[in-house]
Structure 1
Amino acid sequence: MKLQHHLGGIENLGPVSTEKRVFVEPWEQRIFGIHTVMMAESAHLSDALHRYPVDTLPTAFKSDWTWASLRTGAEDMQPFEYFKYRYYEKWLGGIAQFFVDQGYISAQELADKTAHYSAHPDAPLPDHPNAELTAQIDAYLQNGDSGYHALDGAARFRAGDAVRIGDPEAVDHTRLPGYLRNKTGVVDLVYPGAFSYFVSTDVDGIGAPMPVYRIAFDAASIWGKSEANTTIYADLYEAYVQPAA
């Protein structure tokens, strides 16, 4: 697992930011908006529980884009590059690279547009309002998407079971925090139903819908005696959970 995703308990990383504003700069709101529109037009919504008219939307965007796509772009960064940039700068980098990789824009076109707006920061941005797309975005914001499914059969573990967390092969994007690998805990809650993820990470086991558990860990067993009398909880897919024995 890459350094930037294995930070639990690592000392001397400070200082810790105490910034409470969601958006520090106005451009960050626009990046969040671009990401939201991409999710609302994502091709994967054609199979969503809520029925969206994705196939007939008047848009050239025909790719899958979810929170997982955004996180994969950030997690694929070289670790020391990752630490150089602010939160929404990582979003911007991931989104821009996605559009280049998918062929929506070339790297040269992106460089030219960047140079243009750097030289003319007050130049108007493209503005092509479309009522149908606006309605789709509004519907997505109200109804969202869901990875919930009815559970076929029984969950492997029950509340109170002692379990050990696995150590699967690291992939571009994972739902398993690095500091929990090979740690033992106790199942605190079995969530009803089964859950899938927006993209398959089959190498580490996330694919078909499966149970999800809230697992309690003794923090001292993870981070040492200084964390005595502290319990941490993590929601983990069943693919990551093994019997303690």
Structure 2
Amino acid sequence: MKLQHYLGGLEGLGPVSTETRVFVEPWEKRIFGIHTAMMALSSQLPLPVTPSTFSTVWTWADLRKGAESLNPFDYFRFRYYEKWLGGICGYFIAHGYITAEELDALTEDYYAEPGKALPSAGEEAIDARIVQYLVEGDSPKREAEVNHAFAVGEEIVVCDVPTIEHTRLPGYLRNKTGTVETVYEGAYTYLCDTGPDGIGAVMPVYCVRFDPATIWPGNAEPNFAIYADLYAHYVAAPASARQAA
């Protein structure tokens, strides 16, 4: 399990940033644009054909996997878009778009000459595809028949699934008991198959309410609740209910 998914309720982690700007440095806008273009060019939606040489699949999950693969100390040392940059660079190297040596050489060139012009870019067809992708989006909701095992008001326990690369399950909720608040209509998929973690296939999603006192015994404020949207694979009936069945 990744350390960064266990942070809920931990104390003494240092000052919390109150920065409200979406982009703190100008280069962060470019990283966001690169990420968006990669998603649009690899999307399976019926979008315009382009002359782009980008031929692999990139999703939000790939971005998250890149960040979560960092050494935990680096994960907390780098800022948000610095982690994006590392994940994107690693992806391009892993898929053969550029070598690590070529990337290092280019980096040194721009360190030595910060004012050096960036490569020119711009293809009308590529721009049109990206804009259409941004307008239409890419919903995880699917038209499929699924079995909703739980109803509103039922008690569930969060599973402790094995996680290797990536997860959408907060660590501090594992093995905790909660109550189903909402059963979302329809079925939902995830951006990739997470292996032993268990999501990727079409399944129900539940909004589950937790009493903070059960998550952080003796260290929770009263009169509020924690809510989490959880894939069906992450929740199960409590042991007592399974035994009664």
- What TM-score, normalized by structure 2, do the two folds share? 0.94
Tell me, in whole angstroms, the C-alpha distance in 2 between the residues paired with 1:203 and 1:67.
Answer: 19
**Displacement of 1:171 after TM fit?**
2.0
- The reply on whether 1:82 has 2:103 as its aligned counterpart is no
Tell me, in whole angstroms, the C-alpha distance in 2 between the residues paired with 1:38 and 1:142.
Answer: 16
Within the candidate set 208, 229, 235, 1:235 is matched to: 229
**Displacement of 1:5 after TM fit?**
1.8
Secondary structure in 2 matching 1:233: strand
Tell me, in whole angstroms, the C-alpha distance in 2 between the residues paired with 1:141 and 1:177.
Answer: 28
Please give the per-residue CA displacement for 1:22-75, whole angstroms capped at 9, x wherever unaligned.
111111111111111111111xx22x3xx224xx42111111101111000001
Tell me, in whole angstroms, the C-alpha distance in 2 between the residues paired with 1:77 and 1:67.
Answer: 16
Tell me, in whole angstroms, the C-alpha distance in 2 between the residues paired with 1:98 and 1:214.
Answer: 33
Please give the per-residue CA displacement for 1:109-143, whole angstroms capped at 9, x wherever unaligned.
00010001111111111112110001001001101
- The reply on whether 1:217 has 2:210 as its aligned counterpart is yes
Secondary structure in 2 matching 1:163: strand
Tell me, in whole angstroms, the C-alpha distance in 1 between the residues paired with 2:212 and 2:223.
Answer: 8
| Residue in 1 that maps onto 2:88 | 95
Contact kept in structure 2, 1:220 and 1:230, CA below 8 Å: no
The one-letter amino acid of 2:104's match is: A
- The reply on whether 1:196 has 2:189 as its aligned counterpart is yes
Q: Which runs of 4+ in 1 moved over 3 A?
A: none
Please give the per-residue CA displacement for 1:171-193, whole angstroms capped at 9, x wherever unaligned.
21101000000000000000110
Tell me, in whole angstroms, the C-alpha distance in 1 between the residues paired with 2:168 and 2:80.
Answer: 19
Unaligned 5+ segments in structure 2 are 241-245
Deviates further, 195-204 or 212-221: 195-204
**Displacement of 1:224 after TM fit?**
2.6
Contact kept in structure 2, 1:174 and 1:201, CA below 8 Å: yes
- The reply on whether 1:52 has 2:47 as its aligned counterpart is yes
**Displacement of 1:151 after TM fit?**
3.6
- The reply on whether 1:5 has 2:5 as its aligned counterpart is yes
**Identity %, equivalent residues:** 54
**Displacement of 1:3 after TM fit?**
1.4
Secondary structure in 1 matching 2:227: strand
Unaligned 5+ segments in structure 1 are none
Contact kept in structure 1, 2:65 and 2:166, CA below 8 Å: yes
